[in-house]
Amino acid sequence: MPHTFAVDRFSPVRFDPGHALSGREVDVLLEAAGRAPSAGNSQPWSFIVGRRGDQVYQRLARHLSRSSSMWATGASLLVANLAHRFVEDSDIEYSEFAHYDVGQAVAHMTFQAHALGLFVHQFRAFDRDAVASEFKVPGHWEVTTMAAVGLPVEGARHLSGAGTSRERLPLQDITWERAR
């Protein structure tokens, strides 16, 4: 069997709105993200972080799509995940692997959340341009995804994403080639 993290992790569709994260827990989540590997140690990531009740959270929540606002606003933490795409004032790529590395950083955050008894739902359903302009993200950075972090409530595991199945492809379908 894979590690319990891989087996038990899921993207909750309902969070406990009574749960709060401490500032120290938020630090630990960000520290875990920052420890992810990246091409040439380029660390092409940055995070806009709002704890429920604070003004950053409210400014992020304003730009959720209708579908995600139905569940993400119960989360204890909303995080917008930014990728460093270009060298400032140029069209030269900062890192060819920026998106890849941001994904790994968020995966590290997700793993750390699990160790704290929390769950993460990553999502695309928000207005990326509006978040960029709300937080004055310059053009050489890109708002990629958001992550909602918190404590799931009963029944939060059924579906992740509107109508999305949680079925996984069998091993043979995800193995291009392998010697037996």
Using CB under 6 A as the criterion, which residues of the chain lie in contact with ligand FMN when the complex forms? Answer: 10-11, 68, 122-125, 145, 160-162, 164, 166
Maximum distance among all Cα pairs of the chain, rounded to whole angstroms = 55
Phi, psi of 33 (to 5 degrees): -60, -45
The residue whose two tokens read 């993290």 is 5
Q: Outline where DSSP puts E strands in 12-94.
A: 45-51, 77-84
Select 5 or 88, whichever has its Cβ closest to ligand FMN.
5
Q: State the minimum distance, in angstroms, from the CB of residue 77 to ligand FMN.
A: 16
| 50 or 152: CB nearest ligand FMN | 152
- Pick the closer one to ligand FMN by CB: 91 or 154: 154
- Report, in Å, the least distance between residue 180 CB and ligand FMN: 29
Give me the least distance between CB of 12 and ligand FMN, in Å please.
8
* Shortest Cβ 88–ligand FMN spacing (Å): 26
> Which of 38, 9, 3 has its CA nearest to residue 149?
9
User: Quick check: 131 and 48 in contact, CB under 8 A?
Assistant: yes
d(CA 78, CA 146): 7
Q: Is 61 helix (H, G, I), strand (E, B) or coil?
A: helix
Query: What does the block give as tokens for 154?
Result: 């009963």
Which residue number, 76 or 145, has a Cβ lying nearer to ligand FMN? 145
Give least dist CB 117 to ligand FMN, A: 17
Q: Quick one: how far is CA 173 from the chain centroid?
A: 26
